[in-house]
């Protein structure tokens, strides 16, 4: 089994040391080959542009796709994000690759205004993230696909912890956030091995 993880900085591991991201942690304890194709600042359009080289050329059995936060931060319409994810799903399936859709964590507006960009309307971005999550849940159910719900996972932990416990800047998880994400991803991929 071989899994490519493709996405943006949330997949790459922006803000944490090498070996601390959820993908790096999967690599360390799994006997499954895991390839990190996360790129800081990437969008769903960017994933489409590089999917041949960064997914198909590796001939993986599975691909974990997580993107869309940057699209939303830049104000792109949600239907563009959904269309791009649908194209990535179709492309993977056409090449006998099992797509797994990961739902990115919510944004902590109060932190992001301080540590990221004070002028972005994070309330709108979180509303879009929630709509996008609902779409993913519906799409994966209709198409019998697996998903990893990092959004719900982190949101549930935020009920008992602060944003500073799980994020570096309100957008990117810290070491503790990545550990949670790793456990969630690991619980799913062990079903396939």
> For 44-67, what is the mean pLDDT?
98
Convert 109-135 into a string of H (helix), E (strand) and C (coil).
HHHHHHHCCCCCCHHHHHHHHHHHHHH
> How do 62-66 and 33-38 pair as beta strands?
unpaired
Mean pLDDT confidence for 9-30: 94
Q: What is the SS3 assignment for 60?
A: coil
pLDDT tens-digit series, residues 72-113: 999 999 999 999 999 999 999 999 999 999 999 999 999 999
Beta bridge partners of 65: 6, 101
pLDDT above 70: residue 193: no
3-state secondary structure of 35: strand
Query: 191 vs 95, which has greater pLDDT?
Result: 95
DSSP 56: G
* pLDDT tier, 192 (very low <50, low <70, confident <90, very high otherwise): confident
Residue 163 binned pLDDT confidence (cut-offs 50, 70, 90) = confident
Q: How confident is the model at residue 183 (pLDDT cuts 50, 70, 90)?
A: very high
* Residues 38, 75 contacting (CB under 8 angstroms): no
Class (C level, CATH) for 2-189: alpha beta
pTM of this structure = 0.96
Token output for 54: 């960064």
The domain spans of the chain are: 2-189
Q: Where are the beta strands (DSSP E) in 39-183?
A: 62-66, 98-103, 146-149
């Amino acid at each position: 089994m071989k899994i490519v993880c493709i996405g943006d900085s949330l997949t790459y591991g922006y803000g944490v040391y090498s070996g601390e991201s959820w993908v790096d942690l999967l690599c360390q304890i799994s006997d499954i080959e895991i390839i990190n194709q996360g790129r800081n600042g990437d969008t769903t359009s960017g994933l489409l542009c590089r999917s041949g080289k960064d997914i198909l050329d590796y001939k993986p059995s599975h691909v974990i796709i997580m993107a869309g936060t940057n699209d939303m931060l830049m104000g792109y319409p949600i239907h563009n994000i959904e269309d791009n994810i649908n194209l990535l799903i179709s492309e993977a399936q056409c090449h006998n690759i099992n797509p797994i859709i990961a739902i990115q964590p919510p944004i902590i507006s109060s932190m992001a205004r301080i540590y990221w960009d004070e002028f972005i309307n994070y309330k709108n971005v979180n509303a879009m993230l929630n709509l996008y999550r609902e779409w993913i849940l519906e799409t994966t159910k209709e198409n019998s696909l697996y998903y990893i719900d990092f959004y719900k996972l982190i949101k549930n932990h935020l009920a008992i912890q602060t944003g500073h416990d799980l994020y570096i800047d309100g957008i990117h998880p810290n070491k503790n956030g990545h550990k949670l994400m790793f456990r969630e991803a690991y619980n799913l991929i062990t079903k396939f091995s």
